[in-house]
Structure formats: structure tokens, C-alpha cells
Structure 1
Amino acid sequence: MSAVGDAAAKRGTKTGTKTGDGTAEARTGLRRPSSRTWTDIAVLLLLVVVGLVGFEPSFGGYSFLIPALGGLIVGAATGILSSLFRLGLVQTVLVAIVAYFLFGTALAVPQQGILVVLPSLQSLASLAVGAVFGWADIVTLRTPIGAPQYIQVVPYVATWLVALVSTTLAARWLSTRPRAAWRFGLALLGPMAIYVASILIGTDDPFQAGLRGVTFAVLALVWLGWRRRPASSSVSPEGARRLHGRRVAGTAVVVIAAVLLGGGAGFWLAPPKDQRFVLRDEIEPPFDPLQYPSPLSGFRHYTKQVTDDVLFTVQGLQAGDKVRLATLDSFTGKLWNVTGPETSTNGSGTFNLVGRSLPKQSFVTPEARRDVTFTIETYEDVWLPSLGYPNDIRFTDGDASSATDDLRYNDSTGTAVLTSGLHAGDSYTLDATVQAPMTAADLAEVPIASVELPPVEAAPDIVTVKAQEFAASAASPAAQLEAIRLALVSQGFLSHGRASDSVASRAGHGADRVTELLERNQMVGDQEQYASAFALMARSLGYPARVVMGFAPDAADVEAAPVVEVTGDDVTAWVEVAFDDVGWVAFEPTPDETDIPQDQTPKPKSEPQPQVRQPPRMDNDDEDLLTPVELEESQEEDDGGWFDIPGWVYVLGLSILIPAAIVFIPMLIVGLIKARRATRRRAAAEGHDRVAGAWEELVDRFSELGYDVPAASTRIRVADHLDRQVAGEGAVSLRPLASTTDEAVFSGQPIDDERSAQAWSEAQLAVEAARVGLSRMRRFLARYRVRSARDWANRISRKRSDS
């Protein structure tokens, strides 16, 4: 190598860039982070941890911490290594993506990996799908979230991305730029995003909200205060020590204020749990059962059209077991259906995405059923035939085996749906808990449970009359319900309305059909009508009742063969009533008697009437006379219209107003104190006192700006001391003003208003000139300082140090 080349190489190794820490960084070799950079990285990652702990209510435990902390480590390590080896943007992104997929299997979806830790095609797909679609699923699933399997990817990708960006900013941007507070505030956006996300995708029950909020605020504020640009080197050692002491005292004040104000605001201003703004309350679940016909409305389809068709087979049933298809607790006057999401967020119509393991039912007197296998033949629907309250569902064959993420479940009713639908060849095995059979004697002393159900609408009056008539001689709730059941069974007759039945029976279970059932000389109907009538009677007495539709295979068939064929003729409906500490007890109000006697009541003969043309009917309801648009507008006006303010507006407003109050109210108070101080000095009776007041105001303002002001010294010496600190372009010498003030005070001559006003004007110009050379943060903090309070704190500090 030539001499020129050697010299160039030597210059290249010595030349460097000056970092924000004031150190020279070599252009070649490893970029080793300084101790200050390591501190910045540690604080940012700690803030991320404080934020991500808020995911606990969504996952119902700390299982999410493994993928979350794993993503934090992977992202931070990638950012640090890319800075250490000086990787470019494209190289850093490629390394980060490779690390994400390489370690993601073991951390987020180990059950899909090869030997738990090695990536597979399924685990790689879950890492990609979860990063994109997991955010939508996590706000539509019911907590605690346990499925789909890729849901754990959400905390993993969130912390991975934030840690990667935060460490990269700390190691490659903050370390090479002037250490201004706004840059560090920008670096805080990542941890703040995790904190806000844990709130938005959380639940109405926050996790340690006050403790986490105060901890996050204290760490962020202290870090911002201590990591900004250090004091100028022109300050004397004594002044530097005092400034350091003031920074310590200021930090203590910030911490105390954050704890007191933040804790108080969190206690007094935090919205109630039911008014917290979380996304899952604003986003409707993807499956809405009200978009499908009520299963009970299709009852006659099974009894007439597919009577002998094998719908599905079941293996593992016991005698008396019933297959549950749908549970209905809302009556509209026309039909029984599930409760809509606008009526109840936890009603029978709320179906949540689940995995193989289902939430366990606690409100039940349990009997276990294991390994009950359903194989679909001709049945095609979204409602999943099941048994009791399933605890575990395993799809083993057919198209359903690859559609496990389409399974939704309602744990309050034990009803499940497969949104992609069941088809011939699908097979699944479940473990379930069923309600133990209870007799009226078993329930004689048991009170009715307090269960919230939607109100019954448009129930016919005959229901209440018959319920009171049938239950008149009974005292306890169980006895009354049993009396009603026995009356229906003993007085009624069974007919499905087939051609072979002796008496016709109209389909339906609405108010008109129930009225017809109860008002005829003979009650004639099938399970659809009797279950509806019994449930309405129970509800008229104030008892929580719901209608269940399903299938009841013949007990003899269950005992005779391990595999039972379920046909359309096995369809049935029954009623469940909730008893305290027992569960939902089944009542079967349908009679078995099919030999219906002919009605002997003679029909009245009709007499011919003269033909009279009737005027058109004018009994339309008011709503029938309105157009759909007018109806919609009237409903909006009834609901409050555009005057209703969404809850998120209040949350957003409080989230802005509370920090603004913490920042600006103390500033306003300090400003008023300073204005009163200046007004009092300018309004002094004597002219020399007004001139002296101008100098005192100047000295106080300099002290509040952070300059070192001697405690006891002459005005000339104070002016010289301050001039040395403010030396620079645009600085104003304070010595002439100090001399003028001494002359005015000690000369004994009268001072006119013009001279005192000039002194105040010169003092204000000197203060403004001193402010120009200061940083924005230092000028901002001066708004919170009052010199008298600072001097008092310094005196207390000196007394303690002397003692």
C-alpha cells in the first residue's frame, strides 16, 4: 500500500462522528453502545413491559407473557445487533423478519411446531395470519381468550415490533443526535402504543390501572428529565452542583405529583367499569344468529319432511340423554329465538370464537359424559348437535376437521355453532357435563335462581290466566311448575299435523298459536306448542324459563346399540327453569296421548246477512302510516339522535384534559403568583422602591430561569456574576442597571415615574435577552419556578447538610 493510502487509512480509522453523548464514534468496526444508550434501551423496554401487563384481563392469566416477553427479546436483540454491526435499513428488516419467523414457533405457537421449537408450514402460516388477522379476532372473542391457536401471535408481534423500533431509535438515532427532550418523547411512542393497545383490546375490568399508569408516568417523566441535554460547561462547579441538586429535587416533586395527581385523578375521574371504552364493546361479533331463522320455527320440517331420514348418528349416549341443538330465551310474540346482542352481551345469542377446550359450566348439578361421537349424515345446518354443556370438542373427520376456527360457543346455554356449516361425513367427539335429573320432590325447598333474561313481549293474556288456574293449589315454585306441566300432559293431546293424525294441528308457536292451544276445548299440538306455552306460563309467574330444541332418541335404541341413528321423528322441545345452586332443570310438558276424541260441541248455524259494502279499514297503526325512512328517523329521535355522545368521546376528552390540567393548572397558579409579585413591586409608593423592585424582579426571574444567583451580595457583584453566565451574542450587561439602582436607592433624591418605568423596561429587556440562549425545556420549566420557594428549599437543604 502506498504512503498516501496508508495515510488515508490512518485518517479513516481516526475520523469519527460526534454522538449525542459527546463521544467520538469510529466509522469502521463495531458500534458499541455507550452506558447511556444501554440505559435508554432498558427504560424503553421496561415501559413496554409495564404496558403489556395490561393484556392480562383479555387472556385471563399470564400465558401471554411467554410470547410477549419472547417477542420483546427477539426485537430488542435484532435492533441492538443491527446497530452493533452497522446494518442498513433493508438488511435490518430482513434480519428482523427472519428472526421473527425463526423464533416465533417456539414462543407463540409451539403446539404447531416440529418438536415444539422447529418451524413447520402450519406454524409459519399461523405467525403470518396472526400478525394480520389476530388483531380483529382478539376484539371479537369473549374473554378469557383461548382460541384460535394463532391468537398468541398478537402479543408476540406487538412487542417484537415495538422493541425493534425502540432499540433501533435508542442505539442509532438518540445516540447520534443532540439529546433534546422531543426526540426522547418520540421514542416513547412505541411503549405508549403498547399501553394504549392493552386498554383498547382489554375488558371493562382493568388490570391494576392506577399502579401501572403511575409507574409508566413516573418512569417516562424522570427519564425525559434526566436524559435531556446536560447543563452547559460554562457553569461553575458550585453552580453545577446546585443545578444537580435542583434536578434531584425537581425529580422528587415530579414523582410525588405524578403519584398524588395521577392516583387521585384515577380514583375520582376514572369512568365506571360499564362505561370504559374498549373495542370489544364497540365491535359486533362476526356471527349473528339472528340472521338465521329460529330453529324452533323449522320444527315441522323434521316431523313431516324428514321424518324417517337419518340426520346423524351418535355413539356414547346413555338412556334418557337428549341431544341439544339450540337454546332460546327471547319471545317476540311471533316466535322464540336467541337474545340479540343489542339486548344482552352475554345472552343466548352471544357466540364466541373458541378452540378445542370450551369454558366449563359452573351453574349445573353435574353428570359427566365422555367420548360421545357425532357423525353427520343428512343434517345440514350451522347449529351443532351436542350434549349438555360440552367441555371439549374434537373434529375428527370431514370438512369440519379443517374448520375448527369457525366454531363458536355460548357457555351460558351450552349451544355451539359452526359458521361454515355441517355436512355429510363430518364427525366430532365431545366430552360434556349434563344436568342431573331432578324431581319435584328434590326441588321442593329450592328457590328459583336469580337469572337475567330478556323480557317477554306480546304474550297472550290466556297464558297468565291458565298459569294461575293450573298452579292455584301449589305453594313452592317447583310445585307450581309441576302442576302446570301435569295439567298440560293430562289434558292435552299430541298431534304433529300429519295426514295420519286424527285431528289437524297447526304449526307455529307464537302468541296466536298458543292462544289457540289453550282456548280450544281440547289442547292439541306437539312439542313446539306445548314447550312455548309452558315457558310463557313460567315466565308469567316470574320464573326464568327458556325453550330448548333438540332430539330425544328412544331410550330402548340407546341401550340396544352403541350407535344410535337420530331421525327427524326424534325431534323434540322442552323447557328449562333455573333453580338456585342446582342449575337449569328440564321440564317436559308435552303429552303422549295421540287418540284425540272428536269435539262434540255443535257449531252455531250461520244466518245469511244482507250484502253491505264495508268502508275501507282505517285502523292502521301510526307506524304503518310512516315510510321506512320516517320510522328510522323517529327511532333516532327517540334514542336521542345526534345529541348522544359516544363513550369514547368522553374517554378521549378526559385523556386530554387530565394531562393538560396537570401541566397547565400549576403553570397558571405560578403565573398568577409572579404577576401579583411584579404588580406589588411596581405599585410601591416611593420611586426608589419601584426602581429597587425592578432589580429584585430581574434577579428573581434570572433565578427562576436556572441561573446561579448569589444569596447575599451587592448588586454590582450579582450583576457581574450573572453577566459571566449570560455571556454571548445578544447578551445585555446588567452592571449599568445595578449602578442605576444603587444610585436611586442611596442618593436620597426623589425618583420620578419616568425613571422608575425606564428601570422596569431595562430589567425586562435583560430578562428577555437571558431567555434567548436557553433551551426550550429550561424556559418551560421556568414557568413552574418561584424564587422564594427555591430559596426556601435551598436553605432547608443547607441546614440538613450542615447538621
Structure 2
Amino acid sequence: MSAAAETVTSIPTRPDGADDAHLAPRAISLRTGADIGVIAALTLIGLVGLGTAFTDLGYLLAGVGGLVVGGGVAILAARYRFGALTTVAIAVVAYFLLGSALAIPEQALLHVLPTLQTLSGLAVGAVFGWADLLTLRAPVSLPYYVNAVPYVSTWLIALVSVTLATRWLAERRRTVGRASLLLIGPAVLYVAGVLLGTDEPYFAAVRGVAFAAIALIWLGWRRREGGRLNVGSGSLLLRRKIAGTAIVVVAAVIVGVIGGTLLAPAPANRFVLREQIQPPFEPLDYPAPLAGFRKYTKDLDDTKLFTVRGLRDGDYLRLATMDTYDGVVWGVAGADVDVQGSGSFRLVGRTIPKAPFATAGAKRTLDVTVDGYSDVWVPDSGYATSLDVDDVRGGSGEDVRYNAATGTAVMTTGLKKGDEYRVAAVSQKQVDQKSLADVPTASMALPPVRNIPDVVAAKAGEIIAEKKSPIDQVQAIADTLSTTGFLSHGTASDQAPSRAGQGSDRMAEMITAQHMVGDEEQYASLMALMTRSLNMPTRVVMGFKPTVPKDGGTAIVTGENVTAWVEVAFQSVGWLPFYPTPDDTDVPQDQTPKPKTEPQPQVRQPPRTENDQDDLITPVEIDDSDKDDDNLFQLPGWVIPLALSILIPLAVVFLPMLVIALLKRRRMRRRRGPGGDRSVAGAWDEMVDRLSELGYDPPTRVTRPLVAAGLAPALGEHGAGVTLLAERTDRAVFAGQDVDADRADAAWTEALGVVDGAGTAAGRTRRLLSRYRVGAVRRWAGRLSAAAVASAARRPSGSDAPEL
């Protein structure tokens, strides 16, 4: 069938763009129906890629629903010839009316009818759901409106793509370029599924091959045959199409499977946006928890902070974990510290990710009721596995951030009196120390610890001098502090005074004082500094050790229960706790008697001799000169204009040269860096750019041998080197063999040698001008000039009218 016979006559529309209801309904042809089917299939393939970011298939229902709603509105508008405004209005109404049942059924009335919550969720999710999808710890379970992301994505893609297929492509001559516009939406969704997913791709090879095969086959079969040579009968043309389709499918499968296996990065190296996005919670915006330790022991010692049900005797509550020290206080690292430490808090749902470095022990489910406690740090136990904060007033699941590495949770809106929450947790398994005799400490990167006093490091070395294994060394430090020190919170009832703080001077004082006196925060800080000085991964934990009733009932936590301890990481075991705080509060008194002062007999002093009045006055020299020292540094008025008249021209001449030189240096380093055949190809590209900058005109958009043939006459004796380098570069790039570093260096030596020889032959002026040229800019200017000349040549002679 000829192209003229297939061309669909455009149906007239009203010039004001209003609805054409008086015209007959437009029929949807089979070809357009096939286009819509391809759009739907490719959109679903891209949608499936989001599967790793959600906990259930609710996102798939939302995505399919958005596809049906958007596509249905587009088909309806095309059939009845609705205008653009009417189509958009109907699409928006359908989006909100049907979205409650498709995307947010749990909040809908009878799981179908929209409510105020579902309508706001559809609006908020369409705008802010993307950010939450990135910052939520996958798989996503909260907030409820996140399902609006796949729903609005497929709704928009179907609305736009189907509208183009039914009202734009159907009325125009079909070309590959025009048909490709319909693939933009599904392709964007496919890429979004990759970037918004997780480190574990969802059938990446299968989806990639299927997407490419369907798109290529559709573009090939839907291409118009008008204007082609007559290749024979229709059956022959059909057989050739089928054969070509089979070749495309087989090639797509082979290339996708083999290429994907060889080129796809490992899951650990896979680029996903959620790993690049920093969480919104910044720990540095809040005071260091350990800095307020004595607020609990002095001001809140008898205050009921909260009650906990579900604890067992000996359990500790974790409040905050700190692993960075600046010489003043232990604190939580900032969110920009990309390490296995305390700086990364992520938005989570009810299900919390597993701790990356822990050995599971006892399980606990705690019900906490807040009373006198008010802070952003959420008390929990061990490593939480789920956290239900529905009964927290003024907050919700979107306000909870959790650090799986440290087991620390925060509520950005803060906990207040009357709040209730439930946390399920698992503790670190306790290991017999004898089994750790040959176990080293873990190898991991932690935030920096600065300003460790020398006496602290020296004391640590003295304590472990005779200990061999890491566990014995750590336990020796803890035992030394707990058996030789004394406990004091610095209150009036304590026997010995204890200065507050954990700064470097306070830590040094504990070592050098006659008696080591301090509280839990100071002993934990001192031990952590000692072990960190020995390059052991250590962190300080602040929390509570409540008294649990024997029947396991409700434990009342007061400020008196606050404590701190140290955790050290051991390879393949986890973070083990150590408690260096002593129990002894009776500081021994100093029995050495103070020396008594003996009164001395008074001796009559001789009378004061008379002195001349002038001797009692110290002469003062007053400088009456009018010299101003500042005048020594004042320059004559003619110096500044002269300096500017010299420096400004020099800057105009040499600053562009310096900037361009830095750009060229960066360009050469980038091309030389990859190694192998890419480095050899980079040497060729660098040589061509340098020759272009010297004023030579290398041919563009041709093969390397043709470039060499075009340059050889102008280069003279150096033309042979260019030809030889072109051959060696093609051999390195296309031979399929490994290229070692020596071969790449030789290619760069030859390329730069040709450039040096060509520069010498070009003369000093052209070498100077080359310092102000960039090869890429020069080629772009050449193409622009050639396009302008070609346009002028096509313009009819003798006519000044612009070309339409």
C-alpha cells in the first residue's frame, strides 16, 4: 500500500480550540490500538522496576490503575474530539476520583470512596512522594501516600503518550523520529525505576531485553514503506519483516544477556539515588546527648522520666550512641560523614532494617510511656526491629529517623509527656570472652577522634603491656578503671568532689590525680579514648539501667538510672559492651598531716631613710613629634595607577591563557587516565585537538585513516607519524586485545611528538595563538560556519526574503 493511500486526512478543528462535539466520533484504528498496546507494555516494564522499593504489590495496582485512568481519558478525549482544556480537566477529576481506590485504598471509605485524607494524600504524594521515596529506607512502608508516586507517573505517561498516538501520530506521516516520541515517557519511567530502586535490581536483564526488543520491533514494523523501492510481492516483504524481527529479538537477547553479565556493576557498586541523598535529620543541629549527663543526676534524679514494660533484669536502655570526639565532648557525627558510624539517620517505616554488624541475641518487645522526659532521642533496647509510634502526639512515622548501625532512633518532633510507643528489639548476643582469645577487633572506618591527651594514651599502653589478645587488652582497661577509680556525681551528698565534663583536660586530670574520681560519662569517655588510642573501633553509649521488678512488670525510669558504657567491635561478632565505672564511692582520705606554721618573733624595722623628691619620680619621655607611623606604609599617589595600568593588561592577556591551559591539562589527564585501548584512543583525540588548535584543519566525522590522509599534506614530514598513529589506534581499539600500559604510553609519546614537530613547523605566532584555542570550540565554530554557508547556498538567488 502506498504512502498516499495510508495517509490519514486531518480532520478540521475549530480555530479557537473549543470542543468539536458537532463532528462525528473519531474511530480508533487497529494501528493506533497497537501503538497504545506498546505504550502500555513498555510502561508496565518500567513500572516493575520500582518493585524493590515497596513492601507489597500495592504499588503495582496503583501503577496499573494510573495507566488505565490516564489512557482511558486520552482515548475518550480523542474519540469525542475534546479540546485540550477539557481533556486536562477530565483527567484531573478522574485522577482524584479513582485514585483513592487504586492508590490509597486503606484510607478510602469502604476502600473505594474518596475521603479528605485520600484526596490530600494524592496531592501531597504527587509532589513530595518522590523525596520520601528517596529518603525512606527501602522497602517502603510509610507514609501511606507514597503509592501515589507510581499512580501519578503512569497516569501522566498514559495521558500524554496515548494522546499523541491517537491525535497526533495518527494524522501524520509515520517516521521513526515521530514514533520515538511516544517512547519518551516509558523510557523515563524505566530509568526512574533504576535510580529509585535499591542495590538489588529487579530482573534487570529480563526487563532490559524485553523493553529494547519491543521498542525496536515496534519502530521497525510501524515504519512507513512509502517511497521505498519495490522489493517484490507482499508475501516476500512480510517474510523479510518476520526474518528481520527474529534477528532483532535474538540480537537483543544475546547482547542483553552477555553484555549485561559483563558490563553490569556489582550490586554494591550499583548507582541508586537513595544512596546519594542525605537524610533530612542533621544530628549536629542538636546538643550532644552526653553533654547533658549531669542534668539527669542532679536535676532529674528523682523525676519519673518514663515507664517501660517488657524489660528483664539486667537490661539496659539505649538513648544515644556517640563515636566522634573533638577534645571537648563525645558526640554524634554529622550527616555528611559517610562511614559505618552515627552520622546517617534514615526515614524508616514500621519495619526497621537489620543491624549491619551485630549477632542476634535475646528479643524484647517494650511498651514505653513518656512522663517527664522530653527530647528527640528515643529510648530503645539493643537493635530495634520494628517501631510503632502511632500513639505519639504531634508526630507520626514520617518523623522517625533510625540509624541501624548504632541502634539509635530519633523523633524529630520530640517526645512529650503522655506519648506512648512500642519497640521490638534484639540485643547483641553475649559471647564468652574465652572464645574471643584469637578474635581481632573489627576493621571499619569511624569518625575521627581528636585531642587525645598523651597521658591517657600512655596509661593505656601501660595497662595492656602484658596482654596479648585484643579482648584481654580491652577487659584489662575496663577492670583497671573500675577497680582503681571511685564514683562521684559531684553532688552535695558525694564524699569527694567531681568536676563535670569530658574534655581533654578533665580526662588528663583523672589520670594524673592522686585518686581517680568521676561518674559514668567520664569513665566511659576515658576508656573510649584509651581504646581508640590503640586503634580499636570504639563508641560511647548513653542510656539507662532501670530497676526491673522481679515479676517483670513495669519499670519506672528516673534520672538516677542514667548511665554510660563503652562498646568495642570485634570481627564477625559485633559490638560488645564494657562497663568501666567503679561501684566504690568511698574515696580514701589523705592521712598526711599538714605542716603547722610556727609564729616568728617580730623584729623592729629600721626607720625609712629620706629620699630626694626627684628620685621618687620616674622620668617619662614624651614624643612631641608629629610623625605618624602609618605614613611609613602609605604609597605615593602615582604608584597605584601605574600598577593597575600594568597589571590589568597582563591579566587580560595571561588569565585566559592560564584558564585554557588548566582546561587542556584536565582534558589530557581525563583522556590518559582510563588506560588500555581508551587511553590509546585518547592519545589520538588529544593529537587531533592540539593540531586543530595550531591552525590545522583536520576532517571531522570521518575515520582516523581519513583524518590522517587529510592532515598528512599540511604536516609534511610529520604526516607519516599521523598515518602510523591512526593505524595503531584502530588496531588497539578494534582488535579486541588487551592493551598494556607501555603500549598506551608509547601512543601518547608518539602523539605528543607529532604535536611538538607540527608546532615547530607552524611558527611562533601560531603556537602563541594555540594557547588561546580549544579544539572542541574550534570544531563547533567550524560546523556552525559550514551550516550557515549551506543555508545561504540553498536560499534562492536575488531574494531577500527569509527562508520559510
Give me the TM-score of the superposition, normalised by structure 1. Answer: 0.67
Aligned to 2:214: 219
1:599, distance to aligned residue in structure 2 (A): 4.6
Instruction: Please give the per-residue CA displacement for 1:6-28, whole angstroms capped at 9, x wherever unaligned.
Output: xxxxxxxxxxx998457999985
- Once structures 1 and 2 are overlaid, which stretch shifts more, 35-44 or 182-191? 182-191
1:504 correspondence with 2:494: no
Q: Distance in 2 between matches of 1:643 and 1:60?
A: 49
Distance across 2 between alignment mates of 1:213 and 1:669: 31
In structure 2, relative to structure 1, the CA distance for the partners of 1:76 and 1:602 (3 Å cut) is farther
Matches of 1:404 and 1:268 in 2, distance apart?
Answer: 41
Does the CA contact (< 8 Å) of 1:374 and 1:427 recur in 2? yes
The structural deviation recorded for 1:532 is: 1.2
Q: How does 1:320-339 map to 2 (within 5 A)?
A: 320-339=314-333
CA shift digits 1:373-432 (9 cap, x unpaired):
2222222211111222222222354524x5231111112222111111111221212222
Matched, 1:183 2:209: no
* Structure 2 equivalent of residue 633 of structure 1: none
Aligned residues, how many? 608
Equivalent in the alignment of 1:471: 464
Paired residue secondary structure (2:389): strand
Report the AA paired with residue 182 of structure 1: G
C-alpha change, 1:545 and 1:124, in structure 2 (3 Å) is same
Q: CA deviation at 1:160?
A: 1.7
* Residues 328, 339 of structure 1: 8 Å contact kept: yes
Which deviates further from its counterpart, 356-365 or 269-278? Answer: 269-278
Q: Which amino acid aligns with 1:433?
A: V
**Matching of residue 390 in structure 1 with residue 381 in structure 2:** no
Contact 1:341 1:347 in 2 (8 A): no
Amino acid at match of 1:220: A
Which amino acid in the other structure matches residue 573 of structure 1?
A
Tell me the residue number matched to 1:369.
364
> Cα distance 1:393–1:342, how it changes in 2: closer, same or farther (>3 A)?
closer
Deviation (angstroms), 1:596: 0.9
Which residue is 2:717 aligned to?
none
Aligned counterpart, 2:189 = 194
Aligned to 1:588: 579
Distance change (3 Å), C-alpha of 1:178 and 1:196: same
Decide which moves more: 90-99 or 511-520: 90-99
In structure 2, how many angstroms separate the alpha carbons of the residues matched to 1:461 and 1:149? Answer: 54
**Is 1:570–2:529 an aligned residue pair?**
no
Match of residue 136, structure 2, among 132, 141, 144: 141
Q: Identify if the C-alpha distance between structure 1 residues 643 and 188 changes in structure 2 by more than 3 Å, giving closer, same or farther.
A: farther
Residue 528 of structure 1 corresponds to 521
Q: CA deviation at 1:38?
A: 1.3
Give the superposition deviation at 1:42.
1.3
Which residue in 1 is equivalent to 2:43? 48
Displacement of 1:85: 3.9
Quote the Cα distance in structure 1 between the aligned partners of 2:420 and 2:176: 62
Do the aligned partners of 1:365 and 1:582 also contact (CA within 8 Å) in 2?
no
Q: Distance in 1 between matches of 2:56 and 2:552?
A: 44
Which residue matches 1:353? 347
The aligned counterpart of 2:300 is 306
Amino acid at match of 2:41: L
Asked if the contact 2:339–2:446 (Cα under 8 Å) also holds between the matched residues in 1, the reply is no
Task: Note if 1:174 corresponds to 2:169.
Answer: yes
1:667 Cα shift? 8.7
The aligned runs of 1:547-626 (5 Å cut-off) are: 547-555=540-548, 558-559=549-550, 562-599=553-590
- Secondary structure of the corresponding residue to residue 425 of structure 2: strand
Q: Deviations over 1:723-766 (max 9, x none)?
A: xxxxxxxxxxxxxxxxxxxxxxxxxxxxxxxxxxxxxxxxxxxx
Structure-2 separation of matches of 1:464 and 1:642: 49
Structure 2: distance between partners of 1:160 and 1:505: 67
2:333 aligned partner, one-letter code: T
Per-residue Cα deviation, 1:604-643 (whole angstroms, up to 9, x for no partner): 99xxxxxxxxxxxxxxxxxxxxxxxxxxxxxxxxxx9999
Alignment of 1:717-736 (within 5 A): none
Q: 1:389 to 1:153 in 2, by over 3 A?
A: same
Q: Distance in 2 between matches of 1:245 and 1:582?
A: 65
For structure 2, list consecutive stretches of 5 or more residues without a partner in the other structure.
Answer: 13-20, 597-661, 686-698, 711-793, 795-804
- For 2:402 and 2:68, how far apart are their aligned partners in 1? 36
Question: Structure 2 counterpart of 1:147, which letter?
Answer: L
For residue 368 of structure 2, what is the amino acid of its counterpart?
F
How far, CA to CA, are the matches of 2:594 and 2:435 in structure 1?
A: 46
What secondary structure does 2:232 align onto?
Answer: helix
What is the aligned partner in structure 2 of residue 230 from structure 1? 225
Residues 145-203 of structure 1, C-alpha deviations (whole Å, 9 max, x = no match) = 33222222211211121122212221222212221333212222211221232233334
Specify the code of the residue in structure 2 equivalent to 1:562.
G
AA aligned to 1:116 is: H
Post-superposition Cα deviations, 1:508-561, rounded to whole Å, max 9, x if no partner, equal 223332222222221111111111122223333443321110111134xx3378
Out of 97, 114, 117, the position equivalent to 1:119 is 114
Write out aligned runs for 1:145-164 (5 A): 145-164=140-159
Which deviates the most, 351-360 or 544-553?
A: 351-360
State the one-letter code of the partner of 1:196. V
Partners of 2:183 and 2:388 in 1: how far apart? Answer: 45
Amino acid at match of 2:524: A
Match of 1:440 in 2: 433
The reply on whether 1:58 has 2:49 as its aligned counterpart is no
Q: State whether structure 2 residue 481 is matched by structure 1 residue 481.
A: no
Structure 1 position 403 matched with structure 2 position 396: yes
In the TM superposition, what whole-angstrom CA distance separates every residue of 1:278-317 from its partner, at most 9, and x where no partner exists? 4334432111112212101111221222222222222332
1:137: how far off? 1.4
| One-letter code aligned to 1:295 | P
